[in-house]
Chain A
Amino acid sequence: MYAQMVKSEATQDDPDMLAAFQARVDAGEKIEPKDWMPAGYRKTLIRQIGQHAHSEIVGQLPEANWIARAPTLERKANLLAKVQDEAGHGLYLYCAVETLGVSRDELTEMLLDGRMKYSSIFNYPTLTWADMGAVGWLVDGAAIMNQVPLQRTSYGPYARSMVRICKEESFHQRQGFHVMMAMVKGSEAQKRMAQDALNRFWYPALMMFGPSDKDSVHSEQSMSWKIKMNTNDELRQKFVDETVPQAEYLGLTIPDEHMKWNEDTGHYDFTEPDWSEFFEVIQGNGPCNVDRIAARQKAWDDGAWVREAMVAHAEKKQSRKSAAE
């Protein structure tokens, strides 16, 4: 998902403490910043929430690409509000990581120098206005599948930020679907854009859930700690099952000739995405990896004098105030 391929860290803590910790998690108690926690739990959370936060921030870019070109004033406002929300979600999540002892500046530097990742989906380009529909419908749709259960995650600050994010995000997927509905009801060119957007975003959206993890030890550890709530395959299947009828409603064709309803399983059968492409994107070889990080780097560098000046002004103000007292 927004946090793909997060390995859970092995932990070498006192077995009694570990057992007591696990009992708290099993009892549904929330773990709070000052509570004792296994070192592996802390490290895994930093990586997972950090990656989630980075995904929100980098995820602003493909949609911000179309704000200036939104075709009506209403669409412009909707899209801008949505991309602004993503900045807000990144902010909430960075704050959640900060409770684990890593600052936002440190996290930003780890994103920029490649030590931390973000979701593979944001390395794909947005080429037409229909992509604003496809991204909202498919990408936010996939994200919601993962985020709704995370509201029950064991780490208190993470769970609380997910509650806020889910509440705010309820309009995002609808906004995308609404754009898509207008496109399929529109001119021939618009219909073509809509199908093209679905063709390009379908498999990258399936990749968002990460490769199959049903036999993964890491995944098992994260699930017992309740920082991962479902397997990747469960969520992917749920996403496919919900999305296929929506595509039918739109009159669009999912680019998978093997897609069909399976009476026995009660689910759709579908083709797995090309996982070699996924690993290339994760390694930095997606269509937009370099440009995305360059854009974040530029914002960071260009903003340095502003961030610095605000602190300098606050300090001067404080010392003037103390001098006056």
Chain B
Amino acid sequence: MSKEWPLWEVFIRGTHGMSHRHVGSLHAADAEHAIRNARDVYTRRNEGVSIWVVETSQIAASSPSEKGPLYDPARDKAYRHPTFFHIPEEVGKM
């Protein structure tokens, strides 16, 4: 069997100025090929204006067992979320 094209993760920034967002994966022989493939696979519906690709094997990820220590501290900081603050209706849209 011939060598398989490596797997890449694709990140796309849309026209609205939000950060690059992970949209999915694909196979490609190298980074340039991956960008072209990403253009063809993941922007068929006008989804983006900028593409990042990174080889999947190069991604360092937090391990699932650390999920508690990593994310629980944020869980009791509800004030970071807008719905935490009750605003009386008469104030109008905020």
Size category of the A interface is 20 to 34
Could you tell me the distance in whole angstroms from the C-beta of B11 to the nearest C-beta in chain A? 14
Residue among A88, A304, A311, A317 making CB contact with B5, cutoff 8 Å: A311
Contact B5–A307 (Cβ < 8 Å)? yes
A311 to B3, CA, bound (A): 7
Does B15 reach chain A (CB closer than 8 Å)? no
Does B29 reach chain A (CB closer than 8 Å)? yes
Does B18 reach chain A (CB closer than 8 Å)? no
Residue among B4, B41, B61 making CB contact with A91, cutoff 8 Å: B41
Contacts of A103 in B (CB 8 A): 4
Closest to A35 in B: B64
Contact B33–A105 (Cβ < 8 Å)? no
Contact B26–A91 (Cβ < 8 Å)? yes
Could you tell me the distance in whole angstroms from the C-beta of B42 to the nearest C-beta in chain A? 9
A248 to B63, CA, bound (A): 55
Contact A104–B2 (Cβ < 8 Å)? no
Contact A105–B4 (Cβ < 8 Å)? yes
Contacts of B44 in A (CB 8 A): 84-85, 88
A193 to B63, CA, bound (A): 57
In B64-79, which residues have CB < 8 Å from any A CB?
A: 64
Contact B5–A98 (Cβ < 8 Å)? no
Could you tell me the distance in whole angstroms from the C-beta of A237 to the nearest C-beta in chain B? 33
Query: Digit string of A70-107 for contact with B (CB within 8 Å is 1, else 0)?
Result: 00000000000000110010011001001000011100
Closest to B1 in A: A105
Could you tell me the distance in whole angstroms from the C-beta of B21 to the nearest C-beta in chain A? 12
Contacts of A32 in B (CB 8 A): 64
Residue among B2, B7, B41, B64 making CB contact with A311, cutoff 8 Å: B2
In B1-42, which residues have CB < 8 Å from any A CB?
A: 1-5, 7, 23-27, 29-30, 33, 41
Contact B63–A34 (Cβ < 8 Å)? yes
Does B45 reach chain A (CB closer than 8 Å)? yes
Closest to B42 in A: A88
A35 to B27, CA, bound (A): 24
| Chain B residues within 8 Å of A, Cβ to Cβ | 1-5, 7, 23-27, 29-30, 33, 41, 44-45, 61, 63-64
19 contacts between A and B (CB under 8 A): A34-B61, A34-B63, A34-B64, A35-B64, A36-B64, A85-B44, A98-B25, A104-B4, A105-B4, A109-B1, A161-B24, A304-B2, A307-B5, A310-B5, A311-B2, A311-B3, A311-B29, A314-B30, A318-B30
Please name the 5 residue pairs, one residue from A and one from B, whose CB atoms are nearest each other, closest first. A314-B30, A310-B29, A314-B29, A95-B25, A308-B2
